[in-house]
Amino acid sequence: MFKNIVVVGMGYVGIPVAVEFARVGFDVIGINRSRPKVDMINNAECPIKGNEPELPELLTKVVKEGKLKATQEFSVCKDADAILIAVQTPFNVEEMKPKYESLESAVRDVGRNLSNGTLVIIESTIAPTTMEKVVKPILEKESGLKAGEEFYLGNCPERVTPGKLLKNIRELNRAVGGINEQTRERMIELYKHIVKAELYPTNCLTAEVVKTAENAYRDVQIAFANEIAMICSKFGIDVFEVRELVNKCPYRDMHLPGAGVGGHCLPKDSWLLTYGIGDKYDPKMLKLGREINDNMPFQMLELIEAGLTEVGIDKDKSTVSIMGLAYLEESDDIRNSPAFSILDGVKKMGARYYLHDPFVEEFNGEEITKDIDEVIKNSDCIVIVTAHDVYRQMKIGELKEKMKGNVIIDGRNVFNKTECKENGFIYRGIGK
Ligand code: SAJ
């Protein structure tokens, strides 16, 4: 039924799925706007850096076997049996609406090159009703074909995570949203070649809501943990002890409070869901969850100010070091990282600052110091924003010897408060 597959968007989602279909024997062509990425792939080099088990080697293999190649030309869609669209769908919080330029452009170009009988699948995360209101009308207008009759249309939201790109494609269950029964059957026929988990057929709108709701769920769970952390701070008790004992209770899974919620999923998916429901309903809790999580970097700034005040150092005469720029531990991904707001606040204090992160190479053009000892020996205050292993492995005794000052602000429960105090540090942590 399927032989030729086209994947539009050679990014975190498109590349692994293209490689997987090529690996199992399909002839796959990846379309990307930017020439450099196309050239990298055709030179059998993986554009995704960071630790992605198997991916670089597999990409090299399937490209050399001629099972995967890349192009900028949408004309290749004419011969495709299935076309997957996996382009970015960022959310503009100021305007409170998704930025669909990439999606609409890709759908338009696919429409112009769509042949009768082709299966078109959107893998990008989209606001509920986007399939009905945006994707279907553009495809039908540009192709002159009728969705559900002359071509098949569905959405199968991705569940990829940096560091586990191939693993998640193979092992995570997925909602398969199709415009009609025949489409759903064809989608499952296609995906069962690469997904070893369950494929749940449903309609397009349900699949759109599932994807945004599963991340909104996590965002609200984290916001709950952050709210309890603020309460524990006021009580002067340890939220991590509270969390541990709460989770001893059946059916409880209190998440981790911290310096904030970053990444390419959680900060936007509650907004996509909110945008999708429009004026039919006001999702107060989703919005409050976003507000609480976005406020955590400012809680960190309050802790920094309080710590410096306690040791009698004027903020504008202090040196504050931000430890961890990536949004997630052991990652180089800085998208929506809490470190951006924390750095802005430190600058507004007039403080000198160092930035440290073992993985991140670029952060708004700021200088990133890789020598952690150099950072520590010049710091009045160190601020843990990301729980990289290198911070978890720091010994308090060594820190005491090396550090210029003695203020520790802990945004990820990396240090033991009692141990810090016993070694003469002024310690403040989220929820501790
Ligand atoms: N975070 C907390 N407390 C927690 C968990 C996370 O503050 O208890 C923070 C992290 O520090 C990070 C942000 O939230 O800044 C997001 O962390 P995440 O673990 O959710 O990682 P993401 O953003 O890569 O989430 C993705 C999501 N997957 C997809 O959208 C396909 C999410 O649904 C997955 O649960 C997550 O990966 C995962 O754990 O695999």
pLDDT one-digit tens code per residue, 114-144: 999 999 999 999 999 999 999 999 999 999 9
Q: How far apart (Å, rounded) are the C-alpha atoms in residues 104 and 110? A: 10
Please tell me the distance between residue 257's alpha carbon and the centre of ligand 1 in angstroms: 12
Are residues 163 and 146 in contact, defined by beta-carbon separation less than 8 angstroms?
A: no
pLDDT at 282 exceeding the cut of 90: yes
Q: Ligand 1, residue 255: give the atom nearest the CA.
A: 8
160 lines ligand 1 (CB under 6 A): yes
C-alpha torsion 169→173→179→182, nearest 10: 90
The SS3 of residue 17 is helix
CA dihedral (5, 160, 289, 200) positive or negative: positive
240 lines ligand 1 (CB under 6 A): no
pLDDT at 196 exceeding the cut of 80: yes
Q: What is the mean pLDDT of residues 187-208?
A: 98
- pLDDT value, residue 1: 82
Q: Ligand 1, residue 125: give the atom nearest the CA.
A: 30
Q: What is the mean pLDDT of residues 178-188?
A: 98
The residue whose CB lies within 8 Å of the most ligand 1 atoms, and thus the one to mutate among 265, 269, 292, 333, is 265
Percent pLDDT > 90 in the chain is 96
Please tell me the distance between residue 325's alpha carbon and the centre of ligand 1 in angstroms: 16
381 lines ligand 1 (CB under 6 A): no
Confidence of residue 265 (pLDDT cuts 50, 70, 90): very high
pLDDT at 8 exceeding the cut of 90: yes
- pLDDT value, residue 179: 98
426-429 and 199-203 strand pairing: unpaired
Please tell me the distance between residue 124's alpha carbon and the centre of ligand 1 in angstroms: 17
- Neighbour order of strands in the sheet with 352-356: 352-356, 319-323, 381-384, 407-410, 426-429
Catalytic residue among 204, 232, 265, 420: 265
Confidence of residue 163 (pLDDT cuts 50, 70, 90): confident
Confidence of residue 75 (pLDDT cuts 50, 70, 90): very high
Tell me which residue has its CA closest to atom 29 in ligand 1: 159
Please tell me the distance between residue 57's alpha carbon and the centre of ligand 1 in angstroms: 26
What phi-psi label fits residue 135: left (phi over 0), alpha (psi between -120 and 50 degrees) or beta? Answer: alpha
327 lines ligand 1 (CB under 6 A): yes
Q: pLDDT averaged over the chain?
A: 97
Tell me which residue has its CA closest to atom 14 in ligand 1: 261
Q: Strand runs (DSSP E) across 248-373, as ranges?
A: 319-323, 352-356
**Residues forming a β-bridge with 382:** 321, 408
261 lines ligand 1 (CB under 6 A): yes
pLDDT at 217 exceeding the cut of 90: yes
266 lines ligand 1 (CB under 6 A): yes
262 lines ligand 1 (CB under 6 A): yes
Q: For this structure, is 204 an active site residue? A: no
- pLDDT value, residue 408: 98
pLDDT at 50 exceeding the cut of 80: no
- pLDDT value, residue 162: 81
- pLDDT value, residue 161: 86
295 lines ligand 1 (CB under 6 A): no
SS3 breakdown of the chain: % helix, strand, coil, rounded to 5? 45, 15, 40
328 lines ligand 1 (CB under 6 A): yes
pLDDT at 49 exceeding the cut of 80: no
- pLDDT value, residue 148: 97
pLDDT at 187 exceeding the cut of 80: yes
14 lines ligand 1 (CB under 6 A): no
User: Residue 234, Cβ neighbours under 10 Å: how many?
Assistant: 8
pTM, two decimal places = 0.93
Q: Ligand 1, residue 158: give the atom nearest the CA.
A: 31
Q: For this structure, is 211 an active site residue? A: yes
Confidence of residue 37 (pLDDT cuts 50, 70, 90): very high
Q: Strand runs (DSSP E) across 20-126, as ranges?
A: 27-31, 68-71, 82-85, 91-92, 97-98, 119-122
Catalytic residue among 37, 67, 136, 211: 211
The residue whose CB lies within 8 Å of the most ligand 1 atoms, and thus the one to mutate among 161, 174, 228, is 161
C-alpha torsion 22→26→30→36, nearest 10: 40
Q: What is the mean pLDDT of residues 269-290?
A: 98
Tell me which residue has its CA closest to atom 24 in ligand 1: 161
The packing angle between helices 204-235 and 284-310, to 10°, is 30
Please tell me the distance between residue 122's alpha carbon and the centre of ligand 1 in angstroms: 22
